[in-house]
């Protein structure tokens, strides 16, 4: 597994993001955390200036409000089966400034044919979003509950990161303490 990491400063409440890159593209991203796939996040640091420069430039442009989609090559190695199908559906079908509910994404993905228990597909999609190896690139922050924002990671800053990203994308109105780009 040839992963190397690019650290990019962000204005998010969680601080910098880390992106695992391979020869095929970005394989993982993290808002915060110590390990991914059993290895320390950020180790080893990417020394390929072409790869790291592209990731840094695209992420910087997104957070500055100059880019709506990151359009980085993706290495899907950490998602398989139904999880991969749901993530690909999300990436292809829910663009900047849009949201979809967990249940709607379950239906759109086609993964949950004729569920026997109501609510199970939506809850399963919620778990899949929590296990998304490519947050921001595969925009799980755009997946919301039928009655509100829903969850976003287990860390203290999770829901604040989701709120910040949805504000950046114009889904939510800015609050008085908004720290994002201004037009």
The structure tokens listed for 40 are 């320390």
- Residue 128 tokens read as 């899949």
Q: Which pair of tokens denotes residue 11?
A: 């204005």
Question: Rounded to whole angstroms, how far apart are CA atoms 88 and 48?
Answer: 27
Which candidate in 46, 140, 165, 168 is catalytic? 140
DSSP for 66-126 reads: S-SS----B--TT--HHHHHHHHHHHHH--TT--EEHHHHHHHHT-S-S-SSTTHHHHHHH
Is there a catalytic annotation at residue 140?
A: yes
Q: Which residues contact 150 (CB under 8 A, 6 or more apart)?
A: 102, 126, 143, 144, 162
Nearest in space to 97 (alpha carbons), one of 136, 132, 58, 68: 68
CA atoms within 13 A on the CB side of 175: 7
The catalytic residue positions are: 140
């Amino acid at each position: 597994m040839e992963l190397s990491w690019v650290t990019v400063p962000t204005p998010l409440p969680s601080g910098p993001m880390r992106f695992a890159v391979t020869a095929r593209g970005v394989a993982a991203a993290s808002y915060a955390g110590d390990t991914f796939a059993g290895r320390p996040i950020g180790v080893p640091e990417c020394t390929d200036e072409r790869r790291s420069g592209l990731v840094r430039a695209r992420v910087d442009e997104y957070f500055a409000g100059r880019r709506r989609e990151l359009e980085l090559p993706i290495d899907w190695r950490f998602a398989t089966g139904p999880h991969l199908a749901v993530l690909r559906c999300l990436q292809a079908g829910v663009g900047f400034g849009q949201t979809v509910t967990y249940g709607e994404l379950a239906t759109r993905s086609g993964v949950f044919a004729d569920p026997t228990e109501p609510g199970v597909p939506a809850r399963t999609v919620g778990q899949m979003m929590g296990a998304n190896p490519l947050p921001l690139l595969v925009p799980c922050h755009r997946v919301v509950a039928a009655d509100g924002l829903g969850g976003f990671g287990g860390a203290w800053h999770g829901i604040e990161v989701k709120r910040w990203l949805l504000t950046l994308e114009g889904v939510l109105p800015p609050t008085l303490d908004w720290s994002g780009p201004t037009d």
